[in-house]
């Protein structure tokens, strides 16, 4: 091999670029569909054969390409999307590099047929996978563009060896089409594999059709068990749908994010959403969502990855906090009555291991998360004593075993069915079942409430509210904790000193590579303070944000609520049952306990009729 520097031939340059842009058939489909959408297409037809290796054909009714631009369209770095660096900084189109078509043409046999609205006939140009690109020639074609990609990677056999089976490759294609169909409801999509139409989506302009497309692409279960989201914060706007815990998944494969209309995968947003769900979802489950994030194009870099599937935010901490707060507010607004979990679906959709739903322990490498595990030994008496000084009324209620009957309960008890103007969402209590469940009647039928799970959520939200009001007791550490720091972490301490102070951590600098923690929240003083501080620095380095201390505090409060909540076989009278129902209706996240289990379920009258064969 020569050691002299030489210029690479154009064909090799294109094939190297194709290795970044065209990883598999799904990448070809994605790039070509993005071109169709940028061209203003109202309907796109995708035809696939043999998982995309034999044929990928995409037809659209977009603006088409002028015949004089056909040869230029297959050359590298030629595009109509941008013309200056200023355009790149605020690009709004899906494509902008001018790399896709020449990269695809270098590893496949490509034919492009097109016609603009002002032309009387269409034109065609072809490439054979080499340097040679044919001359444009007239060809019949309706307004729009058709791209045929045949024999993908025929001249790069090594690339073919790394591809999976036909079914797997088509699965990736289907996912790419699904994501783009979710990004453009006004556009119709059709997808066929081996001459069989698998997806036919008409344009969905009105809310009913949008909901139908959502159900088709994300599943009927998600559409039925999701809540709409609309909010703004920190100069960004967030909308879409949030799945309730009953449709959470074991993998993050039910998460769809769109930034300024572009389908992307982003760790900052995913982490923010995960934090927003932490009080209602077990640690081993992932929330399902479809989210549309809109912000100033200059605040996001879409040129961060060759496939354009990742973005970089210029103020990632602001984006993280804004998304988390909007999602938290939307989830907290879900109250019993506007999100009825059907009784017959819960068993199939709950994640159960060993006969019990696992606790939503905080996900940490240190011992903090274990504090929320109700099965682990925990110093409940000491923590209750500490929290008693934080929230004396609640502690008194817990100690007397009558936490249900809080100060706000009197009016709930007084709300008798005879004088109630409207049936409340959870209805009125009928009685107890096996000392564990409260049975109630509402307008839809029968409501079954897990009294321990319901009371646990009520107490937890009260404790969190007290914590948010600033009633956080701190204490000086008997033995200050020394934590070694890297130079970068030392810089982070200076930059985020207010964060540590806000959560009750007093940190003093001992030297250039060491700090000492002298004060901590009383609820956390018995834990591993050094591990907490190190975890916070790791979060700050990765996300420019850390909620570790809040998570650790919430884990302790969750454990307190679990231990203090009503236990099984505790008899309640009807007044106490109705008080519990009214409190649950007023409580944020009232449909799930602190471990992600449902607090109540609905059995409708129609389901009861079906059980007994009525109306047949």
DSSP annotation string for 460-525: HHHHHHHHHTT---EEEEEEEEEEE--HHHHHHHHHTHHHHHHTT-EEEEEETTEEEEEEEEGGGT
For helices 529-543 and 316-332, what crossing angle results, to 10°?
A: 110
Taking each helix axis from N to C end, the angle separating 487-495 and 529-543, rounded to the nearest 10 degrees, works out to 80
Alpha carbon distance 331, 328 (integer Å):
5
**What pLDDT is stored for residue 42 in this prediction?**
96
Phi and psi (nearest 5°) for 107?
-125, 15
Q: Which pLDDT score, from 0 to 100, does residue 179 have?
A: 94
Tokens of 173: 């294609």
The DSSP annotation for 153-176 comes to TTT-HHHHHT---HHHHHHHHHHH
Q: Are 442 and 338 in contact (CB under 8 A)?
A: no
> Which residue(s) pair with 57 in the sheet?
47, 148
Residues of the chain with CATH 3.30.1540.20: 343-467+562-611
Asked if residues 40 and 68 have their Cβ atoms less than 8 Å apart, the reply is no
555 token code pair: 């884990």
- Across the chain, how many H-helices and E-strands are there? 22, 22
From the CB of residue 128, how many other CB atoms can be counted at a distance below 10 Å?
Answer: 16
- Count CA within 13 A, CB hemisphere, residue 567: 4
Going by C-alpha positions, the residue among 305, 227, 215, 319 that lies closest to residue 273 is 319
Report the distance separating Cα 368 and Cα 553, nearest Å.
9
Do β-strands 188-193 and 43-49 pair in parallel, antiparallel, or remain unpaired? parallel
Where the chain has pLDDT below 50, the residues are 340-420
Q: Return the pLDDT at 605.
A: 92
User: CA angle, corner 566, sides to 561 and 567, nearest 5?
Assistant: 110
CA atoms within 13 A on the CB side of 232: 6
User: Using an 8 Å Cβ cutoff, are 181 and 215 in contact?
Assistant: no
Backbone angles phi, psi at 508, to 5 degrees: -115, 145
Backbone angles phi, psi at 140, to 5 degrees: -65, 135
Domain with CATH 3.30.1370.100 in the chain: 474-548
Q: What are φ and ψ of residue 263, in 5° steps?
A: -70, 125
Counting Cβ atoms within 10 Å, is residue 25 exposed (0-12), middle (13-18) or buried (19+)?
buried
Write out the two tokens for 451. Answer: 């009294």
Q: What is the pLDDT of residue 413?
A: 43
pLDDT in tens, 305-348: 666 678 888 888 899 999 999 999 998 888 765 554 444 443 33
* Beta strands, E only, 1-100: 43-49, 55-60
* CATH code that applies to domain 474-548: 3.30.1370.100
Q: 357-373: b or e for each residue (b if 16 or more CB lie within 10 Å)?
A: bbbbbbebebebbbbbb
Phi and psi dihedrals of 321, rounded to 5? -65, -40
pLDDT score of 513: 83
Does an H or E element contain 259, and which? Answer: strand 255-259
Find the angle CA(332)-CA(338)-CA(339) to the nearest 5 degrees.
80
Nearest Cα neighbor of 316 from 327, 324, 307, 308 is 324
Residue 470 Cα to chain centre, angstroms? 30
Cα 443–Cα 447–Cα 453 angle in degrees, nearest 5: 140
CATH of domain 10-201: 3.30.565.10
CA triple 18-24-29, angle to 5 deg: 90
CATH class name, domain 219-332: alpha beta
Q: How far is CA 402 from CA 18, 407, 562, in A?
A: 68, 11, 15
**Residues 213, 201: contact at Cβ < 8 Å?**
yes
pLDDT at residue 286, as a whole number: 92
Cβ atoms 480, 518 nearer than 8 A:
yes
Express the helix, strand and coil content of the chain in percent, nearest 5 each. 40, 20, 40
What residues are paired with 433 via a beta bridge? Answer: 437
- pLDDT for the residue numbered 255: 94
What is the C-alpha separation between 604 and 433, in angstroms, rounded?
A: 18
What superfamily would CATH give domain 343-467+562-611?
A: MutL, C-terminal domain, dimerisation subdomain (3.30.1540.20)
Cβ neighbours around 389 below 10 Å, total = 11
The DSSP output letter for 592 is B
Location of each CATH 3.30.230.10 domain in the chain: 219-332
């Amino acid at each position: 091999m020569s050691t002299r520097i030489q210029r690479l031939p154009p064909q090799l340059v294109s094939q190297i670029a194709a290795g970044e842009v065209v990883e598999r058939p799904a990448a070809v489909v994605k790039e070509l569909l993005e071109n169709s959408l940028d061209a203003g297409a109202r309907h796109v037809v995708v035809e696939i054969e043999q998982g995309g290796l034999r044929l990928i054909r995409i037809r659209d009714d977009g603006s088409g390409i002028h015949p004089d631009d056909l040869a230029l369209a297959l050359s590298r770095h030629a595009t109509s999307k941008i013309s200056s660096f200023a355009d790149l900084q605020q690009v709004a189109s899906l494509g902008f590099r001018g790399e896709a078509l020449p990269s695809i043409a270098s590893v496949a046999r490509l034919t492009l047929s097109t016609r603009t609205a002002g032309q009387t006939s269409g034109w065609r140009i072809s490439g054979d996978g080499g340097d040679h690109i044919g001359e444009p020639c007239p060809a019949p074609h309706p307004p729009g563009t058709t791209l045929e990609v045949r024999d993908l990677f025929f001249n790069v056999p090594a690339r073919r060896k790394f591809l999976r089976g036909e079914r797997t490759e088509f699965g990736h294609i289907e996912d790419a089409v699904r994501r783009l169909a979710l990004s453009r409801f006004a556009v119709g999509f059709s997808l066929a594999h081996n001459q069989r139409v698998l997806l036919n989506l008409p344009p969905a302009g009105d809310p009913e059709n949008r909901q139908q497309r959502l159900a088709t692409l994300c599943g009927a279960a998600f559409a039925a068990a999701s809540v709409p989201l609309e909010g703004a914060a920190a100069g960004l706007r967030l909308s879409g749908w949030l799945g309730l815990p009953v449709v959470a998944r074991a993998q993050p494969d039910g998460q769809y994010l769109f930034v300024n209309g572009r389908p992307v995968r982003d760790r900052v947003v995913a982490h923010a959403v995960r934090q927003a769900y932490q009080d209602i979802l077990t640690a081993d489950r992932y929330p399902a969502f479809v989210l549309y994030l809109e912000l100033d194009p200059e605040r996001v870099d879409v040129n961060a990855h060759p496939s354009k599937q990742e973005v970089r935010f210029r103020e990632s901490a602001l984006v993280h906090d804004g998304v988390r707060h909007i999602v938290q507010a939307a989830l907290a607004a879900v109250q019993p009555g506007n999100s009825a979990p059907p009784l017959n679906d819960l068993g199939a959709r709950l994640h159960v291991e060993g006969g019990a739903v696992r606790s939503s322990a905080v996900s940490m490498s240190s011992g903090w998360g274990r504090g929320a595990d109700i099965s682990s030994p925990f110093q409940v008496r000491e923590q209750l004593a500490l929290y008693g000084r934080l929230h004396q009324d609640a502690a008194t209620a817990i100690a007397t075993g009558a936490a249900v009957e809080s100060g706000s309960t009197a009016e709930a008890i007084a709300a008798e069915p005879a004088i109630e103007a409207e049936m409340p969402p959870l209805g009125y209590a009928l009685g107890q079942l096996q000392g564990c469940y409260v049975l109630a009647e509402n307008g839809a039928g029968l409501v079954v409430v897990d009294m321990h799970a319901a009371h646990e959520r009520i107490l937890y939200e009260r404790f969190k509210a007290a914590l948010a009001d600033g009633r956080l007791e701190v204490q000086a550490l008997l033995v200050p904790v020394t934590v070694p720091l890297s130079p970068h972490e030392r810089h982070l301490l200076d930059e985020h000193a207010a964060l540590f102070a806000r959560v009750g951590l007093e940190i003093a600098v001992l030297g250039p590579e060491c700090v000492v923690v002298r004060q901590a929240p009383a609820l956390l003083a018995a834990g591993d303070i050094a591990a907490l501080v190190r975890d916070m620095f790791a979060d700050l380095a990765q996300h420019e944000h850390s909620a570790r201390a809040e998570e650790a505090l919430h884990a302790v409060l969750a454990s307190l609520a679990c231990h203090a909540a009503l236990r099984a076989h505790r008899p309640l009278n009807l007044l106490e049952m109705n008080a519990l129902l009214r409190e649950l209706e007023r409580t944020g996240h009232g449909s799930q306990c602190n471990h992600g289990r449902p607090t109540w379920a609905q059995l409708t009258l129609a389901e009861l009729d079906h059980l007994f064969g009525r109306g047949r």
